[in-house]
């Protein structure tokens, strides 16, 4: 049986809301990972692709159960993070979305040193105003990334700290078709925190781009998702 993700609730730093905080079960080591991969694959000559897939599945499984995964060879480690908030005294209905569950990757000392040694930077542009920053866009039903179907949910997640999507305040999603014209989303069946689910309108077909206007730091800002939806 899969172990549940354990958490506590606590006041936010401002004190006017309640948030969640993970209670980790412990840390899985590199030896634990090697043993689990060996047990799951159960073959003397697994392919590199199979090992990569199995490794990713184990990281997701263990992290979802509340374990930390130590950085293999001191390079990269993993854990699930949690947060979200609800006003103090309001009914608490914590789930994957309201807790803002996210898989977090973190340095080992050797990993950070390797990146630091390789790191160079180059300025390639400038943006004077904050805009909605997409984390991912996917079909709500199939979970397929960068895919949509007319009249079915399209889930969009954002990373801005002060993000608010309020359709009554001119926030909206719209789709740019191949001919350059735009059509607005038909509705918004789910809005919570940095997650917005919109409904592509009837008749929308082919490759499109989605553009979102949201409140960032209280001001309306617009940005387009950089990948086409099919």
Residue 89 has pLDDT above 90, yes or no: no
pLDDT greater than 60 at residue 227: yes
Looking at the predicted structure, is the pLDDT value of residue 129 above 80? no
Q: What is the pLDDT of residue 88?
A: 87
Each residue of 105-119: pLDDT tens digit? 999 999 999 999 999
Region 132-150 average pLDDT: 92
pTM assigned to the model: 0.57
What value does the mean pLDDT take over residues 67-90?
92
pLDDT in tens, 153-204: 999 999 988 899 999 999 999 999 988 899 999 999 999 999 999 999 999 9
Percent helix, strand, coil in the chain, to 5, is 20, 35, 45
Q: What pLDDT score was predicted for residue 44?
A: 77
Residue 31: predicted pLDDT: 95
DSSP strands (E only) in the chain: 7-11, 17-22, 26-28, 67-72, 76-81, 86-87, 102-107, 134-139, 154-158, 163-164, 172-176, 182-184, 187-192, 195-199, 209-216, 219-224
Q: Is the pLDDT of residue 79 over 80?
A: yes
Are 220 and 138 in contact, with CB atoms under 8 Å apart? no
Give the per-residue pLDDT at 1: 65
**Which of 11-20, 52-61, 90-99, 120-129 is predicted least confidently?**
120-129
């Amino acid at each position: 049986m899969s172990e549940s993700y354990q958490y506590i609730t606590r006041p936010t730093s401002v004190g006017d809301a309640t948030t969640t905080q993970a209670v980790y079960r412990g840390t899985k080591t590199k030896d634990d990972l090697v043993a689990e991969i060996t047990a799951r694959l159960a073959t003397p000559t697994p392919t590199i692709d199979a090992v990569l897939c199995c490794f990713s599945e184990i990281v997701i499984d263990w992290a979802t159960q509340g374990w930390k995964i130590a950085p293999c060879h001191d390079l990269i480690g993993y854990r699930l993070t949690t947060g979200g908030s609800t006003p103090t005294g309001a009914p608490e209905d914590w789930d994957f979305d309201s807790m803002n569950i996210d898989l977090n990757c973190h340095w080992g000392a050797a990993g950070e040193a390797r990146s630091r040694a390789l790191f160079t930077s180059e300025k390639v542009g400038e943006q004077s105003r904050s805009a909605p920053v997409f984390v991912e866009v996917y079909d709500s039903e199939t979970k397929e990334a960068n895919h949509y179907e007319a009249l079915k949910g399209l889930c969009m997640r954002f990373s801005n700290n002060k993000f608010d999507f309020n359709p009554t305040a001119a926030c909206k999603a719209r789709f740019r078709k191949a001919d350059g014209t735009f059509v607005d989303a038909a509705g918004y069946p789910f809005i919570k925190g940095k997650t917005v689910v919109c409904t592509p309108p009837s008749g929308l077909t082919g490759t499109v781009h989605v553009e979102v206007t949201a409140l960032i730091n209280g001001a309306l800002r617009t940005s387009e998702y950089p990948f086409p939806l099919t």
